[in-house]
């Protein structure tokens, strides 16, 4: 029968195995310092994971915990393998446009698209003009 190690012994081994290093024998101070460091490290990872998932879930992406082996980003899907991002992103953009229209006006909804189109047309025309001037000289 396998003897289960106490939580702090497992954390001590994990503190080193996270970085692919075997756990060395340590004195009392180094042992508890490594455990405290591992608790802080795991706490920061948890806060990071929660923050990342709060932002990513609205786009249909689930982030697995980084302390798992082979952790990865998973795309969430609706029935019939429709990715959530294909539905969620247009809804989020439509909601943002509607709220902008409510708080400001229709100009604030349309103007960014018009400004980008005008800037892109202007920059492409300038790029073409400078290229023609460069070829002539």
Q: In angstroms, how far apart are the furthest CA atoms of the chain? A: 86
DSSP track, the chain:
-PPPPPHHHHHHHHHHHTTT-PPPP--HHHHHHHHHHHHHHHHHHHHHHHHHHHHHHTTTEEEPPTTSTT--EEE-EEGGGEEHHHHHHHHHHHHHHHHHHHHS-HHHHHHHHHHHHHHHHHHHHHHHHHHHHHHH-
Token pair, residue 9, equals 């012994």
Q: Which residue has the higher pLDDT, 44 or 68?
A: 44
Q: What is the mean pLDDT of residues 1-30?
A: 85
For the stretch 93-104, pLDDT in tens is 899 999 999 999
- Closest to 7 (Cα-Cα) out of 39, 46, 52: 39
Nearest-angstrom CA–CA distance, 23 and 66: 20
Q: Against a cut of 0.85, is the pTM above it? A: no
pLDDT confidence tier of residue 2, bands split at 50, 70 and 90: low
Domain boundaries, the chain: 7-80
pLDDT confidence tier of residue 1, bands split at 50, 70 and 90: low
Q: What is the mean pLDDT of residues 52-79?
A: 87
- Closest to 120 (Cα-Cα) out of 109, 110, 128: 128
pLDDT confidence tier of residue 17, bands split at 50, 70 and 90: confident
Q: What is the mean pLDDT of residues 17-23?
A: 85
Q: What is the pLDDT of the chain when averaged over all its residues?
A: 89
């Amino acid at each position: 029968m396998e003897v289960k190690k106490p939580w702090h012994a497992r954390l001590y081994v994990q503190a080193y195995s996270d970085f692919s290093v075997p756990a060395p024998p340590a004195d009392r101070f180094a042992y508890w310092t490594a455990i405290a460091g591992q608790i802080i490290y795991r706490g920061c990872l948890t806060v990071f994971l929660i923050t990342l998932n709060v932002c990513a879930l609205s786009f249909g992406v689930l982030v697995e915990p980084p302390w798992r082996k082979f952790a990865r980003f998973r795309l969430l899907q609706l029935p019939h393998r429709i990715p959530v991002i294909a539905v969620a992103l247009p809804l989020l953009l439509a909601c943002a446009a509607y709220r902008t229209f409510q708080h400001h006006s229709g100009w604030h909804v349309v103007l960014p698209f018009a400004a980008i189109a005008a800037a892109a047309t202007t920059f492409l025309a300038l790029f073409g003009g400078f290229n023609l001037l460069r070829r002539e000289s």
